[in-house]
């Protein structure tokens, strides 16, 4: 059996804000970030898949921790902790495809499938969207065969920031001419191995010239960016996922250096692509602009690293709250019914904090916050989802929140 995409998941911020020239971008709620979006996408990818991954690759330039890592949170929230290889790629938008290349190598030589979670969350951005794509890479029947088609590396800096400094972009004419030319070279070289009839999807450092190059190469055009914004390193994966309908695909991405992958979709891939496109095209909740995260500067809730480690099972998987034998929450988010609720106007982390008591299906009682921007009432059917708590401390505290079933 060949290597390929065994399963896929896509998660997008639920709100849609204007992104200029008729475009929209997906915006996450204040309690969502790159980690929660990655977990949401990964849970969708892993749902019903019989084989647990042997490695997890998290890809993000907006992960909450600059140092110290975020992938372990994704792993714990998915109930995959333990003997597992996990790492993260955090340099450029190109790292989404780079992670797929690594995953192919790991899956070929390792003990099982590899989960790639590419995720992006930047609520303050005016153009990028908040979203994540998770692809389970391994050997077997799935959504598409996947293979390496080419790479190109040289010192070509289009976007960058020094550590702790502001973000910079190179002169647009330079990126359009030199950057896109290098991208074209990468794709051209890769085309030799892609085979006839391959459609090319380009996610380069400059959207306009990348689109022009894609048109010249007969590609379908980017349907994702106008609907939900550019998803950072998840974007190339989102484009790949939503385009799996064609008989053969070649996807190229470049950000100073480039990777090309060749994908040959199956019938199941076409179904997954249709579902992903429906999610991208769903209207979402229209907003003029993301509301600010209203946590006051003097809100410094207690936290303890030893406690977080000791009680990670309760925090991240509801161990001790749900009965023994309950499904792992991150991979099969629990559902339940609201027993009672309130909107608390004095909890100091937000103007209003929704709180709910929930009887969990299959046993167990949950008490916690309602997801930001959501409301429930007695009898509401809900799903427990991992979200970040209001946190003014030096760590991000993740826990479960109540989200209405829709």
Contact 158, 169 (CB under 8 A): yes
Tell the residue number behind the tokens 């100073």, with chain if given. Answer: 256
Q: What distance in Å separates the CA atoms of residue 224 and residue 128, rounded to the nearest whole number?
A: 11
Q: Cβ closer to another protein: 143 or 322?
A: 322
Residues 283-322: x/- map of binding to another protein (CB under 8 A)? ----------------xxxxxx--xx--x--xx-----x-
Q: Cβ closer to another protein: 87 or 353?
A: 353
Q: Does 344 bind another protein (CB under 8 A)?
A: yes
Q: Cβ closer to another protein: 206 or 315?
A: 315
What are the DSSP calls for 281-316, one per residue?
HS--EE-SSPPP----TT------HHHHHHTHHHHH
Closest by alpha carbon to 133, among 23, 3, 262, 275?
Answer: 275
Residues 190-209: x/- map of binding to another protein (CB under 8 A)? --------------------
What the block records as the tokens of 30 is 């204040």
Residue of 361, 362, 365, 405 interacting with another protein (CB under 8 A)? 365
The CB-of-14 to another protein minimum distance in angstroms stands at 20
What the block records as the tokens of 244 is 């799996």
Please report, as residue ranges, which positions from 366 to 385 form the binding site for another protein (by CB under 8 A). 366-369, 378
The CB-of-282 to another protein minimum distance in angstroms stands at 29
User: Where does this chain touch another protein (CB under 8 A) — which range of 64-72, 186-194, 275-283, 342-350?
Assistant: 342-350
Q: Cβ closer to another protein: 172 or 300?
A: 300
Residue 283 CB burial class (10 angstroms; 0-12, 13-18, ≥19): exposed
Q: Does 355 bind another protein (CB under 8 A)?
A: yes
Determine how β-strand 55-59 pairs with β-strand 85-89: parallel
Those residues whose C-beta lies under 8 Å from the C-beta of residue 388, and which sit 6 or more positions away, are 31, 32, 33, 35, 36, 64, 396, 397, 398
Q: Does 342 bind another protein (CB under 8 A)?
A: yes
Interface positions with another protein (CB under 8 A):
299-304, 307-308, 311, 314-315, 321, 339-349, 353, 355, 357, 359, 363-369, 378, 389-390, 397-399
């Amino acid at each position: 059996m060949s290597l390929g995409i065994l399963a896929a998941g896509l998660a997008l911020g639920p709100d849609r804000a204007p992104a200029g020239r008729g475009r929209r971008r997906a915006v996450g709620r204040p309690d969502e970030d790159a980690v929660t979006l990655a977990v949401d996408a990964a849970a969708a990818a892993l749902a019903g898949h019989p084989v647990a991954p042997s490695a997890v690759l998290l890809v993000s330039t907006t992960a909450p921790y600059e140092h110290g890592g975020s992938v372990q949170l994704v792993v714990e929230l998915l109930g995959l902790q333990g003997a597992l290889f996990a790492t993260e790629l955090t340099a450029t938008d190109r790292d989404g495809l780079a992670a797929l290349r690594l995953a192919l190598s790991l899956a070929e030589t390792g003990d099982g499938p590899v989960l790639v979670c590419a995720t992006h969350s930047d609520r303050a951005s005016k153009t990028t969207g908040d979203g994540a794509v998770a692809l389970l890479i391994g050997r077997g029947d799935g959504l598409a065969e996947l293979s390496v088609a080419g790479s190109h590396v040289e010192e070509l800096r289009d976007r960058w920031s020094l550590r702790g400094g502001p973000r910079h972009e190179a002169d647009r004419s330079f990126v359009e001419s030199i950057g896109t030319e290098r991208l074209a070279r990468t794709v051209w070289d890769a085309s030799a191995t892609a085979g006839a009839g391959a459609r090319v999807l380009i996610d380069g450092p400059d959207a306009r010239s990348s689109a022009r190059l894609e048109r010249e190469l007969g590609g379908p055009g980017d349907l994702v960016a106008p609907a939900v914004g550019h998803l950072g390193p998840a974007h190339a994966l989102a484009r790949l996922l939503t385009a799996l309908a064609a008989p053969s695909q070649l996807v190229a991405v470049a950000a100073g250096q480039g990777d090309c992958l060749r994908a040959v979709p199956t019938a199941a891939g076409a179904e997954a692509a249709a579902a992903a496109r429906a999610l991208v095209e769903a209207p979402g909740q229209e907003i003029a602009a993301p509301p600010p995260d209203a946590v006051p500067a003097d809100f410094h809730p207690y936290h303890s690293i030893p406690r977080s480690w000791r009680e990670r099972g309760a925090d991240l998987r509801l161990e001790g709250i749900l009965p023994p034998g309950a499904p792992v929450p991150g991979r099969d988010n629990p559902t339940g019914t609201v027993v009672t609720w309130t909107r608390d106007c004095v909890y100091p982390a937000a103007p209003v904090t929704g709180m709910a008591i929930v009887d969990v299906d299959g046993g167990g009682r949950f008490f916690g916050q309602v997801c930001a921007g959501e409301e429930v009432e007695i009898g509401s059917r809900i799903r427990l989802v991992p979200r970040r708590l209001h946190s003014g401390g030096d760590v991000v505290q993740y826990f479960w929140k109540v989200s209405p079933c829709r």
